[in-house]
């Protein structure tokens, strides 16, 4: 009798099939976790900008308007890389009485957040999103 060592082709194919099934189950869950984490970072950033807007109102009697991320840096809240890679953040402060503002994060056209919809917060603390239950 010969003493053989190693795996047969069938054993190797079974192992590859098991790994394939595990990856097919785990990968979508992993992608979903990345999306939730990025959305959470955007929400936290929007709330931080809203807080800075309230401080700015106390100092200047008006809200700060920012058309892009570079202008938000002037408010003292630079956009984190985790947010700027996937969202465009704008702070609108229309003239009028009483002063108001909205801060909106809109997903970029490419990347994992493209189908997630915009997020928004205003001077009253109202949180809104394009799709339900994203806040």
Intervals of the chain under pLDDT 70:
1-2
Give residue 14's pLDDT. 96
Give residue 135's pLDDT. 82
Give residue 50's pLDDT. 95
Quickly list DSSP for 61-120: SSPPPBSSHHHHHHHT-PPPHHHHTTEEEEEE--SSSS---EEEEEE-SSSTTTTS--EE
Give residue 133's pLDDT. 81
Give residue 134's pLDDT. 84
In a domain, 64, yes or no: yes
In a domain, 62, yes or no: yes
Give residue 100's pLDDT. 94
Give residue 126's pLDDT. 95
In a domain, 134, yes or no: no
In a domain, 49, yes or no: yes
Tell me how many domains the chain contains. 1
Give residue 1's pLDDT. 62
pLDDT in tens, 47-83: 999 999 999 999 999 999 998 888 888 899 999 999 9
Contacts of 75 (CB under 8 A, 6+ apart): 49, 52, 53, 56, 64, 66, 91
Give residue 7's pLDDT. 83
* Domain that residue 41 falls in: 9-129
In a domain, 91, yes or no: yes
Give residue 132's pLDDT. 81
Length of the chain equals: 135
């Amino acid at each position: 009798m010969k003493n053989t060592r190693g795996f047969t082709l069938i054993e190797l194919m079974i192992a590859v099939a098991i790994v394939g099934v595990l990856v097919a189950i785990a990968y979508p869950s992993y992608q979903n976790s990345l999306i939730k984490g990025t959305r959470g970072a955007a929400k936290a950033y929007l709330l931080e900008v809203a807080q800075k807007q309230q401080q700015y109102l106390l100092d200047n009697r008006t809200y700060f308007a920012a058309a892009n991320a570079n202008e938000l840096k002037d408010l003292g809240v630079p956009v984190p890389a985790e947010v700027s890679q996937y969202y465009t953040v704008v702070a609108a402060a229309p003239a009028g009485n009483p002063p108001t503002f909205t801060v909106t994060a809109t997903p970029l056209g490419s990347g994992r957040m493209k189908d997630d919809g915009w997020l928004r917060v205003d001077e009253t603390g109202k949180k809104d999103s394009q799709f339900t239950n994203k806040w």
